[in-house]
Structure 1
Amino acid sequence: MARYIFVTGGVVSSLGKGLSSASLGYLLKSRGYKVKIRKLDPYLNIDPGTMNPFEHGEVFVTDDGAETDLDLGHYERFIDINLTSLDNVTTGKIYSQILEKERSGKYLGNTVQVIPHVTNQIKDFIKAKTSGYDFIICEIGGTVGDIESLPFLEAIRQFSNDIGKDKSLFVHLTLVPYLKSSEEIKTKPTQHSVKELRSLGIQPDIIVCRSEITLPKGQRKKISLFCNVNIENVIQTVDVKTIYEAPISFYKEKFDYQVLKHFNIKNKKQPNLKPWYRTKNIILNSKKEVNIFVVGKYVDLKDAYKSIDEALIHGGLANSIKVNLNKIDSEKLKKNQIKNKLKNADGILIPGGFGKRGTEGKIQCIKFARENKIPFFGICFGMQLSLIEFARNVLKLRNANSTELNKNCIPVIGLIEEWYKDGMLKKGDLKKLGGTMRLGSYECNLNEKSMVKKIYKSKKIYERHRHRYEVNIAYKNKFESKGLIFSGLSNNNKLTEIIELNSHPWFVGVQFHPEFKSRPLSPHPLFASFIKAAKNKK
């Protein structure tokens, strides 16, 4: 029988609800339980797919092609599970489903209201396809007190009453600030946040306190007294040097033990924390290190390339080496700066992206990596730009480009529906991809003699995609005649998935996003190989 754990946040946003939920999920799974985890976001967008990375961070993609909140990346990386479109919902999606029902007459002419129609739709999402799971963890986005999150909080209040208090648990994450000037830890923000939550009919069972420093027992007692929570259920989470310390920290605080105690479950099996201690040790104490430069246009926001940053760290873990991440804004990068900016690079990565802004800076960095034999990794748009660079400077197709950036170009990259001119695919091939996003997991066949086949140790792979434009296969022979090999293709051999450069120590471009499948305890083979090449360069 499933037990439901609802995680809310108070005081300020970005406290780490996602990491807390993911860490709890790992601890429960490591104790032998089957865990499902979901994110409920209060914004009105249908999904994060069209949101600016500067505002929302990266868009995480699941195997079934759902564009989701980046917290699902934390969930997958920590708990080592594959999530689906059923594990992330927004207010926009809830309302669109309700309005569709109303338009089709499903409500039989009744007045459609927040209660019960919106709350019922949220409750249906929470319990959908949960059969066979022991714990369902639901993180509620936003901060208690925000008007947009009210329907979600009301829904989980109702849900707890529906299934019974013995099958539900409320975890509330708050900030306990430390004032350096007076050297005091302040519990008042937590008290007010819990008061706000209780005014909505929800009494937290466990309070997780985010703080810069360790909470003295006196402060815990104060929170326990004023928030009506047992003192052993006041859990502290002190700032850690790496997020991969979080499972260790929460285990020491007996977070998972208190959850099981709430549900009256006795479990003698201890979580396996050895991999996390090893991970922590490599990241914090390794004397060997490599410098990886990520060249993109969203580098000013830390979360914009979150999965790539983590996957590079995972690659370091696979090689027992620390990875120093260096970010370069491609839009501000000038041609005469490249040599100086990249002089210490052991590896260069160009991530995905959309639009023309910053592309020429990326192309110049690719040229620098190719000519100076620096390990290079191009992901999605990064791979497409590496083909454009090669076409311009090696094939001498000076006007080579993507039709996304220039309609009047030699179309090395384009939409499927545009490929009808001489020497290109005829309109009608792969109609479903024309002008749409290719999302989710797709099959790829690897060239028998390719480097990537040795890296993957497999002839066939499945990777997650998120893009509209494709490589024009008509130029395949021209590229390969100069040593740039199309080493991974779709089943019909018309879509390019992977390219590699024979005359280079490690030069790989992929149309998909391997970072979405990388995990600290099982690093993605491409990132492990890339970091190994960077390590060997030193």
Structure 2
Amino acid sequence: MARYVFITGGVVSSLGKGLTSAALGALLQARGFSVRLRKLDPYLNVDPGTMSPFEHGEVFVTDDGAETDLDLGHYERFTGVAARATDSVSSGRIYSNVLEKERRGDYLGKTIQVIPHVTNEIKDFIAIGDDEVDFMLCEIGGTVGDIEALPFFEAIRQFSQERPRGECIFMHLTLLPYLAASGELKTKPTQHSVKELRSIGIAPDVLVCRSEHPIPEKEREKIALFCNVRLDAVIPAYDLKSIYEAPMAYHNVGLDQAVLDAFQISPAPKPDLSRWVDVQDRIHNAEGEVKVAIVGKYVQLEDAYKSIREALTHGGMANRVKVSVEWVDAEIFEREDPAPWLEGFHAILVPGGFGERGTEGKIRAAQFARERKIPYLGICLGMQLAVIEAARNMIGIDDAGSEEFDHDTGKKRFTPVVYHLKEWVRGNYTEKRSASDDKGGTMRLGAYTAVLAEGSKVSQIYGGATEIEERHRHRYEVDIRYREALEAKGLKFSGMSPDGRLPEIVEWEDHPWFIGVQFHPELKSKPFAPAPLFADFVRAAKDIERLV
């Protein structure tokens, strides 16, 4: 049976519960324990898949095809444990499940209520895979006091009561604001947050206190006294230069020891932190710098491309260089020449996205990279637009475009070289979709195999592999009908689906490094195991930097 750590937040949102959970998971792993991390989100969307990146940041995708909160990306990056569909749930999914059961008659005509039906559904979700790991870390989204989060708080309260004593603890994150006028940290918001938590039957065992300033010992003593928490379980959490400093920083202030003490695990196994010492060394002792432009449409919110930014950092670690990223609004290139904006970069990355806005600018960025021989990585839509650019400028299809930008108008404006994907093979069966289907959860989602062309650049990058498995999230695909004409001009289709129908990877033969991929390699990248494509992309940028 797993031990459970429930992570909650108070005072304000965005304190870093996801990062703290991930760091704690890494520290427990370093002591020899197996872990799994889960996210319980109070919003009513069934999943984040249809939410704008401006609303909720990027959508993280698991191997089994779930669209989840971006915090699951932190969990994977820090622990290396592949997330699953059962590691993320929202209020929308919980209520949907309850209502489906009610319509089937599972509740035998009873009145359906938040307690016990909704809370029981939450508890059932929490307990999935209970016998698989030593520790289950469950993060509750939002902050204590949020109306929509109350069923989750009640569920974890019940869950802890129903489990044998000592199998569940609560960890609460709060903020200690600093008042410059008086020159002091204020503990009252933390006290009130804990009071709110205790009023619904939950007493925190560990308090993690975010602060921009050092927390004096007398303030820690005050927090421990008024919040009824042991002094050594009041953990300071300061701002860091890199998120990958978090495991060592939290270990140095005793977070993992406080958690093990709360479970009365004594003597605690000694940690092996060599992995994180190496990660920190690679971050802080870079031997150069490369500049990468990310040309996208959501550049005002960096969380929209969270995994890409982190994967570039991992690629930098692999090459012992610092990757300096600049976010470039693709719409600028629809009005202006991209050259003045992009000439100073060592590499260009065009990420995925949805909708027509900014696409012409991304096409011009791909053209600039192809003509100027600048390393280019196109991901999902970034690959499709690179193919559209090649179709327009290399094989004479002047109006080449995508069905994604046609079907909403009811009037054909392009010759589509990218079409709406209507069916594909998954395992032993064929999945089918139509343009009229619901938007949520209807894309080609999750891990799929790509067969690599022997001797191709991408095969070399993956260590000579002939097959790879990467995660997808798309509903449009490059039309295979144009393969022969494009390959005659040098754009090789170097990765295909096993049935040979769906292009997975394209690369320009006469280019130092120009690769487009239909999948999202950033989703599997980790600081101690960088995604091969990102590691080699940064290496190519490093080679360009040496030539400049």
Question: Contact 2:287/2:320 (CA < 8 Å) preserved in 1?
Answer: no
| Distance change >3 Å, CA 469–CA 515, structure 1 → 2 | same
Q: Distance in 1 between matches of 2:236 and 2:423?
A: 56
User: Which amino acid is 2:363 matched to?
Assistant: I
Aligned-partner residue type, residue 421 of structure 2: I
Q: Which of 523, 527, 531 does residue 530 from structure 2 map onto? A: 523
Q: Which residue of 2 aligns with 1:393?
A: 393
Q: Which residue of 1 aligns with 2:453?
A: 447
1:506, 1:520 → 2: CA distance? 23
Instruction: Indicate whether 1:496 and 2:503 are aligned.
Output: yes
Aligned ranges 1:70-469 → 2 under 5 Å: 70-406=70-406, 407-417=412-422, 432-435=432-435, 436-457=442-463, 458-469=465-476
- 1:88 deviates by 0.2
Q: Which moved more, 1:54-63 or 1:276-285?
A: 276-285
Deviations 1:122-170 (A, max 9, x none): 0000001221311110000000011000000000000000003411000
CA shift, 1:267, in A, is 4.6
Is the 8 Å Cα contact of residues 416 and 469 (structure 1) preserved in structure 2? yes
CA–CA distance in structure 2, aligned partners of residues 105 and 234 of structure 1: 48
Distance 1:388 1:333 in 2: 16
Paired letter, 1:411: P
Change (3 A) 1:418 1:360: farther
- The answer for the alignment partner of 1:422 in structure 2 is none
Matched residue, 2:439? none
Residue identity opposite 2:314 in structure 1: H
* Equivalent residue number for residue 542 of structure 2: 535
User: Residue 107 of structure 1 aligns to which amino acid in structure 2?
Assistant: Y
Give the residue type in structure 2 aligned to 1:415: H
Instruction: Provide the rounded CA distance (Å) in 1 between the counterparts of 2:26 and 2:65.
Output: 24
Deviation of the 1:259 alpha carbon: 1.1
Measured after TM superposition, the shift of residue 50 of structure 1 is 0.1
Check the 8 A contact 2:170/2:206 in 1, yes or no: yes
Structure 1: which amino acid aligns with 2:329?
Answer: D
Contact kept, 8 Å, 2:334 with 2:360, in 1: the verdict is: no
Contact 2:10/2:175 (CA < 8 Å) preserved in 1?
A: yes
Q: Partners of 1:233 and 1:520 in 2: how far apart?
A: 29
- 1:462-514 CA distances to partner (integer Å, 9 max, x unpaired)? 00000000110011100100000000000110000000000100000000000
Contact 2:94 2:121 in 1 (8 A): yes
Superposed CA deviations along residues 274-301 of structure 1, whole A, max 9, x for unmatched, are: 3323323333342410000001000101
Q: Per-residue deviation at 1:80?
A: 0.6
**Structure 1 418/154 Cα, relative in aligned 2: closer, same or farther at 3 Å?**
closer
Check conservation: 1:444, 1:460, Cα contact below 8 A. Answer: yes
Kindly state the Cα deviation for residue 418 of structure 1 after the two structures are TM-superposed.
10
Amino acid at match of 2:88: N
Taking the aligned partners of 1:289 and 1:71, their CA distance within structure 2 comes to 28
Deviation at 1:257, TM superposition (A): 1.1
Q: Which moved more, 1:354-363 or 1:332-341?
A: 332-341
Give the CA deviation at 1:270. Answer: 2.8
- In structure 2, C-alpha distance between the alignment counterparts of 1:476 and 1:438, rounded to whole Å: 21
Residues 176-201 of structure 1, C-alpha deviations (whole Å, 9 max, x = no match): 11122321111111001001000011
In the alignment, the residues of structure 1 paired with residue 512 and residue 121 of structure 2 have an alpha-carbon distance, to the nearest angstrom, of 54
CA distance, structure 1, for counterparts of residue 374 and residue 60 of structure 2? 29
Please say if residues 423 and 432 of structure 2, whose CA atoms lie closer than 8 Å, have aligned partners that are also in contact: no
Q: Secondary structure at the match of 1:152?
A: helix
Contact 2:366 2:386 in 1 (8 A): yes
In 2: Cα distance, 1:335 partner to 1:389 partner: 17
Contact 1:486-1:499 at 8 Å conserved across structures: yes
CA distance in 1, matches of 2:165, 2:180: 40
* 1:423 alignment counterpart: none
- Distance in 2 separating the partners of 1:82 and 1:449: 30
Instruction: Give yes or no for contact 1:282–1:322 (8 Å, CA) kept in 2.
Output: no
The separation in 2 between residues aligned to 1:414 and 1:154, in whole angstroms, is 47
The alpha-carbon deviation at position 340 of structure 1 amounts to 1.2
Q: Partners in 2 of 1:227 and 1:188 — Cα distance?
A: 10
- SS of 2:528's partner is coil
How far apart are the structure 1 equivalents of 2:276 and 2:161? 37
C-alpha distance in structure 2 between counterparts of 1:265 and 1:398, whole Å: 68
Deviations 1:90-136 (A, max 9, x none): 00000000000001111111100000000000000000122131111
- Equivalent residues of 1:5, 1:169 under 8 A apart: yes
Q: Aligned pairs, how many?
A: 529
**Conserved 8 A contact 1:59-1:68:** yes
Alignment match, 2:409? none
The one-letter amino acid of 2:20's match is S
Name the TM-score, length of structure 1 as normaliser.
0.96
In 2, are the aligned partners of 1:335 and 1:364 still within 8 Å (CA)?
no
Matches within 5 A, 1:35-74: 35-74=35-74
Distance in 1 (alpha carbons) for counterparts of 2:251 and 2:23? 9
SS at match of 1:269: coil
Q: Which residue of 2 aligns with 1:508?
A: 515
Q: For residues 271 and 380 of structure 2, what CA distance do their matches in structure 1 show?
A: 37
Matches within 5 A, 1:14-33: 14-33=14-33
- The answer to whether the 8 Å contact 1:293/1:328 transfers is yes
Q: Which amino acid aligns with 2:251?
A: Y
Alpha-carbon distance in structure 1 between the residues aligned to 2:290 and 2:73: 24
1:233-267: per-residue Cα shift (whole Å, max 9, x none)? 00011111110000001101111111111112125
| C-alpha deviation, 1:394, in angstroms | 1.1
Q: What SS does structure 2 have at the residue aligned with 1:398?
A: coil
Instruction: Quote the Cα distance in structure 2 between the aligned partners of 1:209 and 1:333.
Output: 44
In 1, the alpha carbon distance for the partners of 2:135 and 2:423 equals 48
